């Protein structure tokens, strides 16, 4: 049996998402020293209601891979200190052998140069470019260093975002209009995208819903920053960002007026359940994964220790029940690694509760309502991968 999906390759797009996790300082910490991590915040941006894909949702920054992200012109910027095949990213990770194989084609340029960079590099450039377009965060690194990030030890602790240039608005408009201008910005600032600060986190593939809609193979990267950089939403794709309320006073004293109040994973979950924000299932799943980490240092250490492992990728199977919907993930007893099932929506006359009582080996998200998800994980993770914390909606909410 072939493990390749049968969908038309033309509907597939590669994409990248960047989970930005930033530390915060307790009141009274010395301003001149970097305090130990005592918690962290993640950046969630609200998509415009005018967007065709997930309108109004709170998401991590990200977008579709462009041909410009693979351009051979990047080779000149990374030279002479970094170049093929790994650009200083360390040993090559094992080839992805997880089911399924996707039929999409890589973007091609008319001059044949678009595939000059490997996925590990091009997708990181895409994530960094999209983060700049949507939030104004600039994850660049000066070109002057002659050693690799690993030998300098810069990967051993969280990084910092680059200070924004005075003409940032002009550059963002250019980049948003044509992705090739992101390279021009890097040349202008004599920097390279800080691809070494991004860690493989996970992968998500759009489940089958219809024959005609676009589907995405999205690489999720995670970047740990020592402190939250200022956020400037683009007001086109993104209209706002999620703010923390009860820590406003502490954060404002420590970071003064430049800080933007991001949300901890638990606060993001609470905001979703209270209907202040809406999270799509992949974002809810990843937020629950992040709740496993008590501090930024623990999260960053986990990323460093698992840098050689290939991140796991999920292609959910949709199952419509008599009163709701279940998303099945690999490892669940109802998940069948067969393209016949991956390319259709399953349905049953049974109610969700009945299906759940019958199951023992679970890796699934139950969507009771747009703001009420239950997450059930009883399977063992592969390798040292960390699964999300379980969450079961209170029946009084249903």
- Is the CB of residue 279 less than 8 Å from the CB of residue 56? no
End-to-end CA separation in angstroms for the chain: 41
User: pLDDT tens, 326-345?
Assistant: 999 999 999 988 888 888 89
Residue 25: what pLDDT? Answer: 60
Q: What is the dihedral of CA 366, 367, 371, 376, to 10 degrees?
A: 10
Mean pLDDT of 71-98: 84
Count the Cβ atoms, other than its own, within 10 Å of residue 184: 14
What is the residue whose two structure tokens read 């496993």?
Answer: 292
CATH class of 9-263+295-310: alpha beta
Q: Residue 34 pLDDT > 80, yes or no?
A: no
Q: Which residues contact 44 (CB under 8 A, 6 or more apart)?
A: 58, 59, 60, 241, 242, 262, 263, 268, 277, 283
Q: Which residues contact 139 (CB under 8 A, 6 or more apart)?
A: 128, 131, 132, 159, 161, 162, 193, 194, 197, 198, 223
Residue 39: what pLDDT? Answer: 83
Q: What single-letter DSSP state applies at residue 80?
A: T
Handedness of CA 360, 272, 18, 249 (dihedral sign): negative
Give this prediction's pTM.
0.86
Banded model confidence at residue 255, pLDDT cuts 50, 70, 90: very low
Q: Residue 94 pLDDT > 70, yes or no?
A: no
Banded model confidence at residue 12, pLDDT cuts 50, 70, 90: confident
Residue 309: what pLDDT? Answer: 79
- Is the CB of residue 319 less than 8 Å from the CB of residue 362? no
Banded model confidence at residue 98, pLDDT cuts 50, 70, 90: low
Work out the percent of the chain whose per-residue pLDDT is above 90. 53
Pick the closest to residue 42 from 131, 171, 120, 133 (CA basis): 131
User: pLDDT tens, 112-159?
Assistant: 444 689 999 999 999 999 999 999 999 999 987 544 444 443 457 788
Work out the percent of the chain whose per-residue pLDDT is above 70. 77
- Is the CB of residue 128 less than 8 Å from the CB of residue 193? yes
Count the Cβ atoms, other than its own, within 10 Å of residue 294: 12
Mean pLDDT of 232-261: 42
| Rounded distance between C-alpha atoms, residue 16 and residue 123, angstroms | 6
52-56, 164-168, 270-274, 318-322, range with the lowest pLDDT:
52-56
- Higher pLDDT pick, 371 / 250: 371
CA distances from 236 to 46, 49, 176, 184 (A): 11, 10, 10, 22
Q: Tell me the residue ranges of DSSP E strands in 52-176.
A: 58-59, 62-64, 140-142
- Is the CB of residue 194 less than 8 Å from the CB of residue 159? yes
35: left (phi over 0), alpha (psi -120 to 50) or beta: beta
Q: Residue 177 pLDDT > 70, yes or no?
A: yes
- Higher pLDDT pick, 49 / 389: 389
Banded model confidence at residue 101, pLDDT cuts 50, 70, 90: confident
Residue 253: what pLDDT? Answer: 26
Mean pLDDT of 251-261: 33
Residue 233: what pLDDT? Answer: 73
User: pLDDT tens, 283-316?
Assistant: 999 999 999 999 999 999 999 988 777 788 899 9
Q: Residue 210 pLDDT > 80, yes or no?
A: no
Domain spans of the chain, in order of start:
9-263+295-310, 316-397
Residue 283: what pLDDT? Answer: 96
Mean pLDDT of 356-381: 92
């Amino acid at each position: 049996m072939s493990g390749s999906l049968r969908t038309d390759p033309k509907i597939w797009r590669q994409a990248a998402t960047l989970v930005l996790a930033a530390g915060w300082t307790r009141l009274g910490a010395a301003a001149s020293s970097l305090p130990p991590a005592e918690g962290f915040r993640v950046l969630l941006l609200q998509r415009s209601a005018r967007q065709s894909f997930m309108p109004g949702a709170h998401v991590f920054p990200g977008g579709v891979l462009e041909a410009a992200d693979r351009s051979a012109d990047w080779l000149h910027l990374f030279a002479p200190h970094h170049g093929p095949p790994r650009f200083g990213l360390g040993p090559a990770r094992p080839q992805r052998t997880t089911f399924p194989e996707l039929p999409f084609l890589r973007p091609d340029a008319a001059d044949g140069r678009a595939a000059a960079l490997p996925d590990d590099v091009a997708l990181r450039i895409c994530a960094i470019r999209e983060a700049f377009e949507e939030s104004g965060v600039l994850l660049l690194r000066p070109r002057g260093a002659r050693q690799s990030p690993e030998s300098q030890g810069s990967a051993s602790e969280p990084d910092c975002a680059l200070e924004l240039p005075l003409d940032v608005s002009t550059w963002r408009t250019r980049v948003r209009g044509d992705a090739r201008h992101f390279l021009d910005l890097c040349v202008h600032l004599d920097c390279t995208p800080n691809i070494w600060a991004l860690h493989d986190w996970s992968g998500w593939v759009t489940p089958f819903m219809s024959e005609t809609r676009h589907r995405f193979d999205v690489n999720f990267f995670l970047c740990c920053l020592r402190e939250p950089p200022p956020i400037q939403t683009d007001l086109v794709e993104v209209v706002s960002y999620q703010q923390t309320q009860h820590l406003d006073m502490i954060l404002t004293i420590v970071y003064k007026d430049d800080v933007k109040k991001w949300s901890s994973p638990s606060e993001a979950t609470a905001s979703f359940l209270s209907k202040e924000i809406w999270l799509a299932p992949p974002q809810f799943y990843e937020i629950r994964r992040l709740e496993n980490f008590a501090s930024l240092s623990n999260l960053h250490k986990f990323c460093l220790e698992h840098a050689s492992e290939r991140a796991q990728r999920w292609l959910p199977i949709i199952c419509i029940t008599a009163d709701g919907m279940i998303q099945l993930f690999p490892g669940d007893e109802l998940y069948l690694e067969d393209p016949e099932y991956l390319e259709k929506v399953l349905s049953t006359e049974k109610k969700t509760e009945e299906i759940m009582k019958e199951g023992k080996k679970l890796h699934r998200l139950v969507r009771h309502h747009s703001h009420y998800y239950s997450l059930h994980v009883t399977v063992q993770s592969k390798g040292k991968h960390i699964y999300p914390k379980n969450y079961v909606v209170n029946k009084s909410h249903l």
